[in-house]
Amino acid sequence: MKFPVVLVLLLAGGALAPSQTNEPAFDVGELDVDTVMDTATQFAQDHLDDNVLKALQDVDRDKVADFLKNFQSALNGDSVADVAPLQDAANTVLPLLDAHPETQSYAAWLRARLDYFAAAAELQNLPPPPAPPGTNLPPRLPNPSFAAEQQVWKQQVAPRPWPAAAKKFVPELKTIFTAEGVPAELVWLAEVESGFDPHAQSPAGAVGMFQLMPATAKDLGLSLFPFDQRRQPETAARAAAQYLRRLHEKFGDWRLAVAAYNCGEGNVQRLLKRHHATSFEGIAPYLPAETQMYVPKVEATVAHREGAALEKLKAA
């Protein structure tokens, strides 16, 4: 796989974020900055693609790097409110990525996440949840309740027509999901992940319609070379369905399975154990900001497209 130029830009900006999708290769919270940078530098040496860098010679690299660094940091952080102030920068950076064929896959990734900024802004303006009973202390984390996130995402998703690509892909993808024993309604995960764009690529290395990370893809039997099978809609859909089935078998709950798909099953398992929780609601405030928004966004999308409740979907 070619080395993502946006990762080069992140290195230039002085920070590297872990994956937002599937199990991360490493946990920044458990490693020091030098270790993270050494890992990224080695990856750069192994995969650097000069052709991509040449295509971006005229781009304001500092602007792109600064935005990506801040956006990844906000998505990985524990405060949804930190995402909202980045909206203007995202709108500036998106055309820069869209202007070159070599970086349009990263533009597709960002485009599928533009609604995080609007949702975070709305959530930021809501009153904070009440203090714990019997205390005068403010909430430990400045995050909205899961119920508030559900309501905001319903409003965000409600006016949206089907993505143009969905009409082409959804019928076949549903057949694949059903064959893998996964509710067909979950194919709409592809709208949330990539807008049904099989070429979408994240700065962290997730690729394809279902944004599978390299390690996850290999574990599911996909080949990344000489052709990256994550870019094949049918093959990627089958792998994503298998992964979702595995996660549901482990957690017994679709909200937790979807959360684990986004931030890694190890992270979800640790939080459930640490907070003695059995549900998504029990760990939601402690998840990365992206995952806090990702799960209700998936839930709202499934409800809008299929009239189905995520938590009531039946595994085959």
Q: Say which of 193, 265, 290, 299 is annotated catalytic.
A: 193
DSSP the chain: -PPPHHHHHHHHHT-----SSSS-SS-GGGS-HHHHHHHHHHHHHHH--HHHHHHTTTS-HHHHHHHHHHHHHHHHSS-GGGGGGGHHHHHHHHHHHHTSGGGHHHHHHHHTTTHHHHHHHHHHTSPPPPPPTT--PPPSS----HHHHHHHHHHHHTTPPPPHHHHHHHHHHHHHHHHTTS-GGGGGHHHHHHTT-TT-B-TTS-BTTTTB-HHHHHHTT---SSS-GGGSHHHHHHHHHHHHHHHHHHHS-HHHHHHHHHH-HHHHHHHHHHTT--SHHHHGGGS-HHHHHHHHHHHHHHHHHHS--GGG----
Q: Is 30 a catalytic residue?
A: no
Active site residues: 193
